[in-house]
């Protein structure tokens, strides 16, 4: 049954519903919405239906109503079907497929495409989770407004996940030459930054930098940081993202460091298939129960239905442990300590957030088996220590190590240890990585036994542990600012960028004299490059002559390069290079450090990078600590949360008590629009005091005695 406006409003819970006279055109819609007080027309959509003249494929295209470009031409290029093959679809076909008439076409009409024959395309500028988007609810005498995340949930419900296309970048003309002109035939480099510059319409307006403020629109800011710094590219399957080289390098730094640590400890790498049979996955009920809503299933091969569905791994216990059963026969086969670097799929229906909550992500997962619980416990803490150092030593992010409560532990496990981070601007905690003691639960389920030295049958003790690309998102959220990305030096894809500064024109100076000065600057830039390179630093000379120095400064600030060397004739005359630190770009943008030329330059630069690493960690730690409150009364709990704090409180540890806390601390989450309550983050290993003597009441005030201090907060 086709949905009309009334039915549509029942289907969705719009944040805003604006009544107005019928508006057959976008211009008329703008006029009426402005009368109602809506000012930003870039969040109002224009919806087109296009048809391929050769294949007859139909596309529902949702773009900003303020976008001025040939949408059909750009989409044709993006789809690889040619720039001239898409035409406006005829009214009869539109009504047949979407049950919408001209003047009433809207993104929500995909719910009427029951055959799935219409492909949905969304403008990348609209596809930002927290941003409001306005459109008609099937009829044009109303306009509804909702965060884009809710539109995405609607599209998913009706199996029409959109392909996201960057129409604005594709529409941009070639980049304008830098001041002083560019070489004849010089081409602008490809990439988001170039496209942004190409869109410049006014003097000094490159659109290269950030447009969102971290403290005003955190979701929009985060989306801008990771896309404009060229870390992430959106993909046409919701919750899946392309990791570009700038972000993948950071993941490589983490993988190389961690891989070296675990190999030194005796862990070996391996690889298991990504598919698991339904029987195996469901063989451990308690374990799969926690993952069941997120399991993605393969049900068909070509046009043939499979006899039994096959799951794509959400985690690998049920894949690996049948092999453990075969491999472990004697105490001489133990311990077995394996790790695999792989991807997993968890088909989450929560609001997807690049790096933090994605349907496919990269991780390592370790699985081990021991003769004794003592051996297993030792490994749990060893691995957790490595995870803590990934955050503190590599990413300069403070974390709190601890043990999960019974309610929050790994499904089917004995106990779970964790490192917990905090995102100050979002007022949300985030689980950084976990190391689990599985006890003998899986050994019993999979019959993993061995003969001890006396030839008596024994069950193994097992662990599992994992860390994901979520680490990158945490780093971005903790350190970055309104200028863009800020990357700690130890994981930076580039430590130093050298920007040659063209000399000022001198009256009466010949062109040859001017070029000679520039050659001197480039020669010194090359000299610095090789000196830093030889010292093991990652360095680049930005010698592009179609961009001026100011543009380059903004570009590398946006990408978060820790140090920028500015090199001009005055620097050559004074015998030093002028250095700008990325972390000073907001608080002290004019601050420069002069490093003399010579043998000490590389060592001084290396020391400066280590100083930056330490300062970033200290700054993040001080901010985190300022948002942690210790309390003993329930009346203090919610007020502390409302200030954006984590709460350290005495707790009894009971599951029902934790559920009571979550229910009684709920507020509407500004990011997801859903009610969110506080949850336990961990029982910190570092307890402020010993309360195990039953002298302190649980924070719930229900007459139960506290067992330990527990960290609570709202969480991603």
Q: pLDDT tens digit string along 135-176?
A: 998 888 999 998 888 888 888 888 898 988 888 766 554 444
Residue 207: predicted pLDDT: 55
State yes or no: pLDDT of 289 exceeds 70. no
Q: Which two tokens stand for residue 362?
A: 């990269």
Residue 197: predicted pLDDT: 29
Residue 609: predicted pLDDT: 98
Among the listed residues 606, 610, 558, the one whose alpha carbon sits nearest the alpha carbon of residue 582: 558
Spacing of C-alpha 450 from chain mean position: 43
Give yes or no for a contact between 47 and 118, defined as CB atoms under 8 angstroms apart: no
| Local confidence band at 694 (pLDDT 50, 70, 90 cut-offs) | low
Name the E strands within 169-263: 232-234, 241-243
Name the E strands within 388-473: 400-403, 415-423, 428-439, 449-451, 457-459, 461-468
| Cα gap 276→320, rounded to integer Å | 10
pLDDT in tens, 72-118: 988 988 887 676 789 899 888 998 899 988 888 999 999 999 888 99
Mean of pLDDT over the chain: 88
CA dihedral 150, 155, 157, 159 (to 10 degrees): -160
Residue 173: predicted pLDDT: 46
Looking at the DSSP bridge assignments, the partners of residue 458 are 450
Q: Which whole number is the average pLDDT over 310-333?
A: 94
Give yes or no for a contact between 617 and 398, defined as CB atoms under 8 angstroms apart: yes
Residue 668: predicted pLDDT: 56
Residue 196: predicted pLDDT: 32
Give yes or no for a contact between 129 and 111, defined as CB atoms under 8 angstroms apart: no
Residue 152: predicted pLDDT: 85
Residue 285: predicted pLDDT: 61
Q: Which whole number is the average pLDDT over 337-363?
A: 89
| Local confidence band at 2 (pLDDT 50, 70, 90 cut-offs) | low
| Cα gap 587→584, rounded to integer Å | 5
Of all residues in the chain, the percent with pLDDT exceeding 90 is 65
CATH number belonging to domain 5-171? 3.90.960.10
Residue 189: predicted pLDDT: 34
Residue 204: predicted pLDDT: 42
Give yes or no for a contact between 488 and 609, defined as CB atoms under 8 angstroms apart: no
Residue 161: predicted pLDDT: 87
Q: Which whole number is the average pLDDT over 657-664?
A: 94
pLDDT in tens, 180-226: 433 333 333 333 332 332 333 333 444 578 988 999 889 889 999 99
Fold of 628-713: Translation Initiation Factor IF3 (3.30.110)
- CB count, 10 Å around CB of 85? 18
Fold of 243-270+323-479: BirA Bifunctional Protein; domain 2 (3.30.930)
State yes or no: pLDDT of 265 exceeds 50. yes
Q: Which one is predicted more confidently, 645 or 54?
A: 645
Q: Which residues of 219-246 are buried (b: 16+ CB within 10 A; e: fewer)?
A: bbbbbbbbbbbbbbbbbeebbbbebbeb
| Local confidence band at 404 (pLDDT 50, 70, 90 cut-offs) | very high
Q: Which whole number is the average pLDDT over 507-516?
A: 88
For the chain, the domains span 5-171, 243-270+323-479, 492-613, 628-713
Give yes or no for a contact between 602 and 536, defined as CB atoms under 8 angstroms apart: no
Q: Which whole number is the average pLDDT over 387-406?
A: 98
Q: Which whole number is the average pLDDT over 290-299?
A: 82
Q: Which CATH superfamily is domain 492-613 in?
A: Anticodon-binding domain (3.40.50.800)
Give yes or no for a contact between 708 and 463, defined as CB atoms under 8 angstroms apart: no
Among the listed residues 403, 286, 407, 404, the one whose alpha carbon sits nearest the alpha carbon of residue 656: 407
Strands 58-64 and 16-19: unpaired
Residue 198: predicted pLDDT: 31
Residue 701: predicted pLDDT: 87
State yes or no: pLDDT of 616 exceeds 90. yes
Among the listed residues 563, 589, 588, 592, the one whose alpha carbon sits nearest the alpha carbon of residue 576: 592
| Local confidence band at 447 (pLDDT 50, 70, 90 cut-offs) | very high
State yes or no: pLDDT of 350 exceeds 60. yes
| Cα gap 266→57, rounded to integer Å | 56
State yes or no: pLDDT of 489 exceeds 70. yes
Give yes or no for a contact between 677 and 661, defined as CB atoms under 8 angstroms apart: yes
3-state secondary structure of 473: helix
Residue 187: predicted pLDDT: 36
| Local confidence band at 283 (pLDDT 50, 70, 90 cut-offs) | low
Q: Say if residue 577 is exposed, middle or buried (CB neighbours under 10 Å; 0-12, 13-18, 19+).
A: buried
| Cα gap 38→33, rounded to integer Å | 5
Of all residues in the chain, the percent with pLDDT exceeding 70 is 90
| Cα gap 294→190, rounded to integer Å | 37
Q: Which two tokens stand for residue 621?
A: 């730690």
Residue 374: predicted pLDDT: 97
CA dihedral 381, 382, 383, 386 (to 10 degrees): 120
Give yes or no for a contact between 619 and 481, defined as CB atoms under 8 angstroms apart: no
Give yes or no for a contact between 40 and 15, defined as CB atoms under 8 angstroms apart: no
Residue 672: predicted pLDDT: 45
State yes or no: pLDDT of 459 exceeds 70. yes
3-state secondary structure of 668: strand
User: What are the start-end ranges of the H helices in 560-682?
Assistant: 569-574, 601-625, 637-642, 655-663
Residue 567: predicted pLDDT: 97
Question: Could you give the angle at which helices 373-389 and 245-265 cross, rounded to 10 degrees?
Answer: 150
Q: Which whole number is the average pLDDT over 349-377?
A: 92
| Cα gap 555→208, rounded to integer Å | 7
Q: What share of the chain is helix, strand, coil (3-state, %, to 5)?
A: 35, 25, 40
Q: Which two tokens stand for residue 587?
A: 């608080």
Residue 457: predicted pLDDT: 96
Phi (first) and psi of residue 623, to 5 degrees: -65, -45
pLDDT in tens, 25-46: 888 899 899 988 888 888 999 9
| Local confidence band at 4 (pLDDT 50, 70, 90 cut-offs) | low
Residue 182: predicted pLDDT: 37
| Cα gap 6→4, rounded to integer Å | 6
| Cα gap 521→578, rounded to integer Å | 13
Q: Say if residue 25 is exposed, middle or buried (CB neighbours under 10 Å; 0-12, 13-18, 19+).
A: exposed
Residue 195: predicted pLDDT: 32
């Amino acid at each position: 049954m086709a949905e009309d406006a009334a039915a549509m409003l029942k289907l969705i819970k719009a944040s805003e519903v604006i009544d107005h006279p019928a508006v057959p055109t976008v211009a008329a819609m703008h006029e009426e919405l402005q009368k109602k007080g809506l000012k930003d027309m870039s969040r109002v959509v224009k919806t087109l239906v296009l048809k391929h003249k050769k294949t007859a494929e139909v596309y529902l295209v949702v773009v900003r109503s303020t976008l001025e470009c040939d949408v059909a031409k750009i989409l044709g290029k993006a789809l690889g079907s040619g720039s001239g093959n898409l035409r406006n679809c005829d009214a009869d076909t539109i009504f047949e497929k979407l049950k919408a008439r001209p003047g009433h076409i809207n993104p929500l009409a995909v719910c009427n495409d029951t055959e799935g024959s219409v492909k949905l395309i969304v403008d990348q500028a609209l596809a930002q989770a927290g941003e409001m988007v306005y459109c008609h609810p099937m009829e044009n005498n109303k306009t509804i407004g909702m965060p884009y995340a809710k539109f995405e949930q609607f599209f998913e419900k009706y199996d029409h996940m959109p392909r996201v296309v960057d129409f604005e970048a594709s529409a941009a003309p070639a980049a304008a030459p830098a001041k002083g002109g560019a070489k004849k035939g010089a081409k602008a480099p490809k990439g988001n930054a170039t496209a942004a510059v190409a869109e410049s319409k006014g003097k000094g307006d490159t659109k290269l930098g950030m447009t969102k403020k971290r403290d005003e629109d955190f979701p929009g800011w985060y989306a801008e940081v990771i896309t404009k710094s060229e870390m992430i590219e959106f993909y046409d399957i919701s919750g899946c993202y392309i990791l570009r080289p700038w972000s993948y390098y950071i993941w490589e730094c983490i993988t190389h460091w961690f891989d070296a640590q675990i190999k030194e400890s005796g862990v070996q790498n391996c690889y298991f298939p990504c598919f698991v049979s339904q029987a195996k996955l469901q063989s451990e009920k308690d374990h799969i129960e926690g993952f069941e809503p997120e399991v993605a299933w393969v049900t068909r091969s070509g046009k043939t239905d499979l006899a039994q569905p096959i799951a794509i791994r959400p985690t690998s216990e049920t894949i690996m442990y049948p092999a453990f059963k075969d491999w472990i026969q004697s105490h001489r086969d133990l311990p077995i300590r394996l790790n695999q670097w792989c991807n997993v799929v968890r088909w989450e229906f929560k609001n997807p957030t690049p790096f933090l909550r994605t349907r496919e992500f990269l991780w390592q997962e370790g699985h081990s088996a021991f003769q004794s619980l003592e051996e297993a416990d030792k490994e749990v803490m060893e691995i957790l220590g490595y995870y803590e150092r990934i955050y503190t030593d590599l990413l300069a992010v403070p974390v709190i190590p601890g043990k999960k409560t019974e309610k929050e532990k790994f499904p089917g496990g004995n106990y779970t240890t964790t490192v917990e981070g905090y995102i100050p601007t979002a007022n949300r905690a985030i689980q950084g990585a976990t190391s689990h003691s599985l006890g003998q639960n899986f050994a019993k389920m999979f019959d993993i036994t061995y003969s001890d030295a006396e030839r008596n049958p024994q069950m193994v003790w097992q662990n599992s542990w994992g860390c994901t690309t979520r680490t990158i998102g945490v780093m971005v959220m903790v350190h970055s600012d309104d200028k863009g990305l800020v990357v700690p030096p130890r994981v930076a894809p580039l430590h130093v960028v050298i920007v040659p500064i063209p000399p000022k024109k001198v009256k009466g100076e010949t062109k040859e004299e001017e070029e000679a000065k520039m050659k001197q600057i480039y020669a010194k830039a090359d000299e610095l490059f090789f000196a830093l390179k030889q010292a093991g630093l990652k360095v680049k000379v930005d010698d592009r002559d179609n961009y001026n120095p100011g543009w380059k400064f903004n570009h590398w600030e946006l990408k978060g390069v820790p140090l920028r060397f500015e090199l001009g004739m005055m620097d050559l005359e004074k015998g030093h290079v002028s250095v700008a630190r990325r972390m000073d770009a907001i608080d002290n943008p004019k601050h420069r450090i002069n490093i003399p030329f010579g043998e000490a330059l590389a060592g001084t630069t290396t020391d400066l990078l280590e100083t930056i690493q330490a300062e970033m960690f200290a700054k993040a730690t001080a901010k985190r600590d300022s948002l942690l409150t210790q309390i003993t009364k329930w009346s203090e709990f919610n007020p502390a949360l409302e200030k954006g704090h984590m709460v350290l409180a005495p707790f009894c540890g009971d599951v029902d008590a934790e559920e009571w806390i979550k229910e009684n601390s709920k507020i509407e989450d500004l990011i997801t629009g859903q009610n969110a309550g506080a949850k336990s983050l961990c029982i910190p290993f570092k307890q402020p005091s010993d309360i195990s003597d039953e002298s302190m009441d649980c924070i719930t005030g229900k007459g139960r005695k506290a067992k330990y201090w527990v960290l609570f907060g709202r969480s991603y």
